[in-house]
Structure 1
């Protein structure tokens, strides 16, 4: 048996040339890449709220006290179906909260005229001036 006097040498791997090649390939792919615009829906994003040209917010005191009468003579107020007997109390309560608010009555073509007249009379009895009571046809 023969003993080696020299210690075993460790093999070294030089990674520098490989890293150079990787960076060159990366730069090549970035430069030669083509960007395509994907087709799809375009989104209209709201603009920044801090712009100077925004209209002032609507005055909540002048928001109308609205009643909607549909073809089946159901009366709605603030997206709730109400009874004709509660109309006077609603007008009284909201006219105290918003004294500048007009009363708007939207009636469908087939609605009873009597319901429109009762809401109109209730508004007059509470003290809403005639010029602030508006009766309009309901849009389809």
Structure 2
């Protein structure tokens, strides 16, 4: 009968991990290949671009024309020939491209059209006309 030799703690048997790692990688490859990449149906969202200027509220230019043809810009009476200069002064202080013209229903259309043209010349891109009763 043979006697077993006593082995030291450093000579313990080790488990070979290589086959197990091979199996794990093969399973990983299998799952990647068999996964179907389907684009889900839904709505595309058009998000606005991030502009620092758009976060600040823009102040619209207010122009009132009463029934006698008197023009008021932001509460101040203005001559029809000085509308361009006053709009350019307003644009220098405020970053906007919007103007609202409030015209009385009895105001002459020629004055309203002249104010609209001068607003376009001064650099206002969007002009809206409101009728005041």
Specify the alignment match of 1:128 in structure 2. 124
CA distance in 2, matches of 1:110, 1:88: 24
Give the direction of change, closer, same or farther, for the CA distance of 1:91–1:109 in structure 2 (3 Å limit). Answer: same
Which ranges of structure 2 fall in alignment gaps of 5 or more residues? 1-54
Alignment counterpart, residue 89 of structure 2, candidates 93, 97, 102: 93
Separation (CA, whole Å) in 1 of partners of 2:63 and 2:124: 15
Aligned match of 2:4 = none
**Equivalent residues of 1:73, 1:111 under 8 A apart:** yes
Tell me the secondary structure at the aligned position of residue 125 of structure 1: helix
Q: Hey, what's the Cα distance between the residues in 2 that align with 1:77 and 1:95?
A: 13
CA distance in 1, matches of 2:80, 2:59: 21
State the 1:103 CA deviation. 1.0
C-alpha separation in 1, matches of 2:109 and 2:90: 24
Structure 1 runs of 4+ with >6 Å offset? none
The CA deviation at 1:101 is 4.5
Would you say 1:137 and 2:122 are equivalent positions? no
Structure 2 length-normalised TM: 0.53
2-side partners of 1:61 and 1:92: how far apart?
19
What TM-score do the two structures reach when normalised by structure 1?
Answer: 0.51
What is the deviation of 1:96? 2.1
- Number of residues of Structure 1 aligned to a counterpart in Structure 2: 79
